[in-house]
A and B are shown apart, each in its own frame.
Chain A
Amino acid sequence: MNADAEFQLLLATLLLAVIACVRPLGDYIARVMEDGGPLARVGGGRLERGIYRLCGVDPAAESSWRDYALALLLINVAGAVAVYALQRLQGYLPLNPQVLGAVAPDSAFNTAVSFVTNTNWQGYSGESTMGYLVQMAGLAVQNFLSAATGLVVAIALVRGIARHTVATIGNFWVDLTRATLYVLLPLSLVLALVLVSQGVIQNFSPYVEAKTVEPTIYEAPVLDPAGAAVVDAAGRPVTQPAVANSQILPMGPIASQEAIKELGTNGGGFLNANSAHPFENPTALTNWLQMFAILLIPFALTYTFGRMVGDQRQGWALLVAMLILFVGLTLVAYYSEQHGNPLLAHRGIDQLASNGQPGGNMEGKESRFGIAASALFAAVTTATSCGAVNTMHDSLMPLGGLAPLFLIQLGELAPGGVGTGLYSILLYAILGVFIAGLMIGRTPEYLGKKIEALEMKLASIFILTTPFVVLAGTAVAVASAAGRAGVANPGPHGFSEILYAFSSAANNNGSAFGGLSANTVFYNISTAIAMFIARFWPIVAVLAMAGSLAAKKRIPVSEGTMPTHGPLFVALLLGSILLIGVLTYVPALALGPVVEHLKLIAAT
């Protein structure tokens, strides 16, 4: 079997498996969000009712969008404070066998915002920074709650569309609890155990010192008494020969965190190399399962939407649009990487795929994944808001890196993060019917709701906030010495590193062109601001939209109603997404990956 056929089979099995789950899982999620679903009746729903009693919440009481948004913001801010405090107090807390100390304030702030916003951008290196308690009780808890936050916002918007002439959009506390207890937790439990069975580690042991087969002889940097690297007159670090007779193997409760990292489209790795690390992702099978888990809920929510608005075709139309975008950019990523690096071609190196090797651009990739499973993972993780990586995106070919970057910049809606994908594409659907309404001179409507000035204002805030943060952040970083200091690669690739960082932060993805030295005060603060604004401003706009739509009268379908489920609508939706994405980002992309690609052609 040749490499291309192997890739096509991989892509086909993944998408078929995910699509096969869309209906059962989408249906299940709709039932959970309605009344708790079947799991709520296990044990008489005592756990759920106990939580409401402790919280002093009346589960039957629904609230306005303002109240819903306020509750959402409060628990997210409280979560950020908790994650910050856990990191700062780490030295005094248990379950920290490596005795890791307090995380620096700027890094702790960045990480707290990062995990609460479902970004999971990581400036730190997990194995040398975070003890087990911080990982579990700080980071992983937010993995669940940030995913649940995205999910309930999507549900609230769909309720706004489905209901009419009411003032409420749901009970935030009930929605958040049910999404966590009955959707995210059971799926994570199953996936975690499957992952352990395949070799993902799960323990509370101290790190293991392994006496290696051969000693490693290397050049170690010379440190002054203060612990800083000594440099020579030319500014190069001074080194001396050193020998390592052992290898320290990091340990920890990884599988339980890995499961929700994928299912919640979070993406924050327990270890620095994330899903490239063999302890997080040991085999091609775990890699397939991780990609499946990332795509599972975002795609299933299209069916939840269809069911809640009483017309499944509406959900399938969104799913088709998502698939077209996803498959298109996945192919760009795969073929760019499999083609290899032409600059290596004349250096006596074999990059051709054969039975003995995958070939292609293997810099920053793992042998067990080869090109196909790495390029596909890169697309999966950026088409969602996940940001887990099994390949180093900084070392992708220019167009191979452009594909994930553009998937992020399109707003991560193909299929997007848990909940965020659905509400993002619904906002574009509203923009789409508005544009169509302008063309034919009728008041636009979507699923029986008139789209008026307020809705368009909210949609504009939603659609423009993130690009504004991306481009302004990139501009500030490029214009400042502190921003430029972080760049690792010369030329246009260095610009791509900065553009990718702010695209990833503001779209709450979390993957990176990792060469960028981001654990600095400048990047820790600037990306945290980007993550926070671009997460919660759009969420408030979506909830306001939900409230506004819920209050409207439902208008009956008439001759002049544009159907929003056929191929014409899918084309209109794709057109709106691409119009905004291309107009916003092509100038910036031209300065980064496009120039780099042209330089590559010129150099070969």
Chain B
Amino acid sequence: MLRSHLRPTLVLLGAMTLLLGIAYPAFVTLVARIAFPAAASGSLIHRDGGVIGSALIGQSFASPRYFWGRPSATAPQPYNGLASGGSNLGPLNPALLSAVDSQVSRLRQADPAVRDAVPVELVTASASGLDPDLSEAGARFQVGRVASARGLPSATVDALVTAHVRGRVLGFLGERTVNVLELNLALDALR
């Protein structure tokens, strides 16, 4: 009984490995490369002949001249593309509360004029550590700081944010967000 199963076990595993493990992904890659070349290769953003990032992957911004994205818990540096992941801090963990507090004080120091409560996405780490997006509220909160660091009228920066807000897919799926990298590239292109 056992012996009669050995041949189908090995042959079927081998055949399925060729079909599902090689032919199937190779075929999908071929069609993807022809039909959706930009998407299949990572929605890369090119400038001056080089890659400066992906529209889907967030980058770390720390200068007051740029909009900052979500806090990133990747190690050792934030937005490390080789180490995606979240903080995994539980809701009662003192380490979460101190990370949130230091994030709040960093935002307050960077722009003491703003009195509004800090939108939660600016103080909580994303799941991937590479979140390219931020809520509209999170972007609006930073308009004053970015405008004064660049010597631009707030209304100009605010209008740029408005132009970059993406609505919900089909009107109800997902959230209204701003792609932080694209917004910052648009800022740099203003002058």
Q: Taking beta carbons and an 8 Å cutoff, which residues of A are in contact with B?
A: 1, 6, 9-10, 13, 51, 54-57, 66-67, 70-71, 74-75, 78-79, 82, 125, 127-128, 136-138, 140-141, 144-145, 173, 176-177, 180, 185, 188-189, 192-193, 196-205, 207-214, 216-221, 242, 244, 247-251, 253, 255-257, 260, 271-273, 276-279, 282-285, 287-288, 340-341, 343-344, 347-351, 354-370, 373-374, 389-392, 394-398, 488-491, 493, 496, 513-515, 596, 599-600, 603
Contacts and interface: CB of A to CB of B under 8 A. Distances in A.
A392 B127 contact: yes
A305 B51 CA distance: 52
Nearest to A287: B174
A370 B174 contact: yes
Given A199-B43, A272-B83, A600 B59 contact: no
Contact of A51 (B15, B90, B132): B15
Given A71-B5, A213-B181, 11 more contacts: A9-B172, A82-B17, A273-B127, A276-B126, A363-B86, A366-B131, A367-B177, A370-B174, A374-B127, A392-B86, A394-B90
A213 B184 contact: yes
B136 to A, nearest CB: 4
A188 B13 CA distance: 19
B5 to A, nearest CB: 5
B159 interface: no
Contacts of B104: 347-349
Contact of A204 (B19, B29, B80, B97): B29
Contacts of B81: 127, 207, 210, 247-250
Contact of B128 (A202, A366, A603): A366
Given A392-B127, A515-B90, A288 B24 contact: no
B131 A367 contact: yes
Contacts of A596: 90-92
B77 A218 contact: yes
Interface string B28-51: 110111011001111111000011
20 contacts: A51-B12, A55-B11, A78-B13, A125-B85, A189-B28, A205-B41, A216-B62, A242-B77, A256-B25, A276-B84, A284-B175, A343-B91, A349-B100, A349-B119, A354-B137, A366-B128, A368-B133, A392-B127, A515-B90, A599-B92
A105 B66 CA distance: 46
Interface in B117-132: 117-121, 123-132
Contacts of A357: 119-121, 135-138, 175
Kindly name the residue among B120, B124, B125 whose own CB sees the greatest number of chain A CB atoms within 10 A: B120
Contact of A277 (B29, B84, B134): B84
A54 B15 contact: yes
A490 B81 CA distance: 28
Contact of A515 (B44, B89, B184): B89
Nearest to A269: B84
Given A212-B52, A285-B169, A367 B175 contact: yes
B78 A218 contact: yes
A-B residue pairs, 10 tightest by C-beta:
A284-B174, A356-B137, A515-B88, A137-B21, A276-B127, A357-B135, A273-B84, A392-B86, A350-B117, A493-B90
Contacts of B29: 202-204, 253, 256
Contacts of B130: 273, 277-278
Kindly name the residue among A127, A207, A343 whose own CB sees the greatest number of chain B CB atoms within 10 A: A343
Contacts of B154: none
Contact of B1 (A13, A70, A362): A70
A136 B79 CA distance: 27
A220 B76 CA distance: 6
Interface of B is mostly: mixed
Given A197-B39, A357-B135, A276 B88 contact: no
A395 B13 contact: no
A180 B15 CA distance: 12
Contacts of B6: 74
B135 A140 contact: no
Kindly name the residue among A1, A213, A248, A271 whose own CB sees the greatest number of chain B CB atoms within 10 A: A213
Given A205-B41, A209-B51, A247-B57, A273 B129 contact: yes
A82 B13 contact: yes
A602 to B, nearest CB: 10
Nearest to B63: A214
A599 B86 CA distance: 24
A210 B53 contact: yes
Nearest to A603: B92
A114 B79 CA distance: 29
B173 interface: yes
B173 A216 contact: no
A397 B40 CA distance: 36
A366 B28 contact: no
B91 A373 contact: no
Nearest to A489: B90
B184 to A, nearest CB: 6
